[in-house]
A and B are shown apart, each in its own frame.
Chain A
């Protein structure tokens, strides 16, 4: 999704040129260009904060923020908060992955399941389900169960929708051939339909994962307590803007790692699929 620069640029050096050095230089330059703007952004942040254009409350210096992250890491708060947020987001994500695929499969195989879930999914998917957060708090309190529940409510819809569309899109010829060769219904499902549908199901999961992190952070912010979101909200109540910015960086790193890990897993799991060999265009 967000892989914008992974493919080599159009102006890559022609193959077969003898100058290896030129190629190495090129790779170095390209790598530099890739991190240049991020570095420039970091330097600009530091300089802007030090120049006094903004108060330290509005924009604490990057060095101060990194220092804060370091001291959080040393005191152990960082790890507790990160672990709790990850725990909530990932447990909910696992529920969404399993439940969403099961519901999606049921919808495409069973007409009653389809009749029941289809309007719920088509109405529920575009809804801002985060609005149900106070209702969930009312029912389940402010602890992990309610946080995980609201994440599941939000993130399960993309998985269901992707599974249904994926199974619909499986080539008829594949199913016919398997049937013809005597596959039972169960074999057909596990050995033909699910593998053939897996790329699109993965895409649904890749939507659900960042969504679960977004909702986890919001739920923590609203309910307070430990967790990256809760820590940020506490910091913001005490006007501790260095910790707020530290929280953003921490959450950004967690999000980045999760999204990257997910696309690695995708490449690994779908290594047999032709998309792994096709040049990446998305």
Chain B
């Protein structure tokens, strides 16, 4: 307890500095409302349900897009490592699209699917798929030949080998790719909602900012930032459990 207090003291100091600077009006309270008022604005937004309903639709979009990306991405990556023809066909496409700044796809997904959930889910799916694919590919490709050979000599069928040897050994890198995708999904979610949306966290931030409700805007920004941080920490815990068999 005491140790973590010392560890996170700098954050506490920053928060106090924020409050003091805002209270003394060293900068305009428009630009930096006091932290205490931001928090109370956040609490009242939770109470009247605004934050919760917008948050639910944001999390639905991120979750759906990410789930699709993990499903399709890991399948593609393992298939590319396992079947040569798939690799020959897909590797150049992956290599070309991987460096594409995914935010460039925002206007196109809007052209295709409009302003609602569909365009965000598609964007997150497309943006998060490739890190997962590459993680799965690298992981599956580096599965130890000895393991593959022994499985084969023990009479495992090709599919069985895929499932029992290649997939587990692809796991660490695959899960690492998913972590990148998780962070990316938040970035894409917030930016697409900031630019075009009718609900969601990003929309709420833009809407409150445009109406001069900066207390509320700061509150939503902090909530989104915290959610991204929490998602990453929870994911790390899950990964540790999943990979516990390795040591």
Please, how many angstroms separate the alpha-carbon atoms of A262 and B231 in the complex? 30
List, in ascending order, chain A residues with CB within 8 A of B30's CB: 138
B7 to chain A, nearest CB (A): 6
User: Does A244 interact with chain B (Cβ within 8 Å)?
Assistant: yes
B225 contacts A2, CB within 8 Å?
no
Query: What are 13 contact pairs spanning A and B, CB under 8 A?
Result: A2-B99, A5-B95, A34-B88, A38-B96, A119-B7, A127-B226, A127-B228, A128-B183, A131-B201, A218-B106, A229-B103, A255-B100, A256-B99
Q: Given the complex, which residues of A lie within 8 Å of B110, measured CB to CB?
A: 236
Chain B CB within 8 A of A134 CB? yes
Known: A5-B92, A126-B183. A214 touches B103 (CB 8 A): yes
A258 to B99, CA, bound (A): 8
Q: How far is the CA of A49 from the CA of B197 in the complex (A)?
A: 28
Q: A131 contacts B108, CB within 8 Å?
A: no
Is A1 in contact with B93, judged by CB distance below 8 angstroms? Answer: no
Q: Does A21 belong to the interface (CB within 8 Å)?
A: no
Q: Which residues of A contact B (CB under 8 A)?
A: 1-5, 9-11, 33-38, 41, 57-58, 115-120, 123, 126-135, 137-139, 154, 210, 213-218, 221-222, 228-229, 232-233, 235-236, 241, 244-245, 247-248, 251-252, 255-256, 258-260, 281-282
Q: Which residue of B lies closest to A154 (CB)?
A: B187
Given A38-B93, A247-B104, answer yes or no on A126-B99 (Cβ-Cβ < 8 Å).
no
Knowing A2-B99, A255-B100, say if A128 contacts B225 (CB, 8 Å).
Answer: yes
Known interface pairs A127-B225, A134-B194. Does A4 touch B101 (Cβ–Cβ under 8 Å)? no
Given A120-B11, A222-B194, A248-B105: A138 in contact with B187 (beta carbons within 8 A): no
Say whether B10 faces chain A, with CB atoms less than 8 Å apart.
yes
Residues on the A chain within 8 Å of B191, using CB: 130, 133, 218, 221-222
A214 proximity list for chain B (CB < 8 A): 101-103, 187
Residues of B within 8 A of A235 (CB): 107
B111 within 8 Å of A by Cβ? yes
- Is B195 within 8 A of A244, CB to CB? no
Q: Is B90's CB within 8 Å of the partner chain A?
A: yes
Instruction: Identify which of B80, B96, B107 contacts A232 (C-beta below 8 A).
Output: B107
Which chain B residues (179-225) contact chain A, with CB distance < 8 Å?
183, 186-187, 189-191, 194-195, 201-202, 205-206, 209, 214, 217-218, 220-221, 224-225
Q: Contacts of A129 on B, CB cut-off 8 Å?
A: 225
Known A222-B195, A244-B107: A131·B205 in contact at CB below 8 Å: yes
Q: Are B104 and A217 in contact (CB under 8 A)?
A: yes
Complexed CA–CA distance, A35 and B89 (Å): 9
- Nearest B residue to A10 via CB reads B84
Residues in B216-247 with C-beta less than 8 Å from chain A: 217-218, 220-221, 224-226, 228-229, 231-233
A213 to B216, CA, bound (A): 29
Distance A129 CA – B97 CA, assembled complex (angstroms) = 24
Q: Taking the complex as formed, is B167 at the interface, i.e. its CB lies under 8 A from any CB of chain A?
A: no
Known: A126-B228, A218-B195. A131 touches B202 (CB 8 A): yes
Instruction: Judge whether B95 and A3 touch: CB under 8 Å.
Output: yes
Q: Which of A4, A33, A210, A245 contacts B94 (CB under 8 A)? A: A4
Query: CA A136 – CA B178 in complex, angstroms?
Result: 29
| B92 engages A119 (CB within 8 Å) | no
Tell which of A5, A36, A134 has the most Cβ of chain B within 10 Å. A134
B104 and A251: CB pair below 8 A? yes
A residues in contact with B209, CB < 8 Å: 134, 137-138
Checking B92, B106, B195, B226 against A34 with a beta-carbon cut-off of 8 angstroms, the contacting residue is B92
Q: Which residues of A contact B92 (CB under 8 A)?
A: 5, 34-38
A270 CA to B43 CA, complexed, in Å = 52
Complex: how many Å from CA A130 to CA B100? 18
Smallest Cβ-Cβ distance to A131: which chain B residue: B224
Nearest B residue to A257, CB-CB: B99
| Cβ-closest chain B residue relative to A207 | B180
Q: CB within 8 Å of A: which of B1-37?
A: 6-11, 14, 30-31
CA distance A232 to B100 in the complex (A): 15
Nearest B residue to A245 via CB reads: B108
From B8, B9, B138, B187, residue with most partner A Cβ within 10 Å: B187
B186 touches A128 (CB 8 A): yes
Scan residues 112-158 of chain B and give those whose CB is less than 8 A from a CB of chain A. Answer: 112, 130, 134, 137-138, 142
Tell me if B60 counts as interface (CB < 8 A to partner A). Answer: no
Q: Is the CB of B107 within 8 A of A247?
A: yes
Nearest A residue to B104, CB-CB: A251
Q: Which residue of A lies closest to B222 (CB)?
A: A131
With both beta carbons as reference points, the residue of chain B lying nearest to A34 in the complex is identified as B92
Residues of B within 8 A of A118 (CB): 7, 10
Across the interface, name the chain A residue whose C-beta is closest to B185: A128
Is the CB–CB distance between B205 and A2 below 8 Å?
no
Question: Is A4 in contact with B105, judged by CB distance below 8 angstroms?
Answer: no
Q: A118-B7, A130-B187 are in contact. List 7 more A-B contacts (CB 8 A).
A: A2-B130, A130-B191, A130-B194, A131-B201, A134-B205, A138-B31, A252-B99
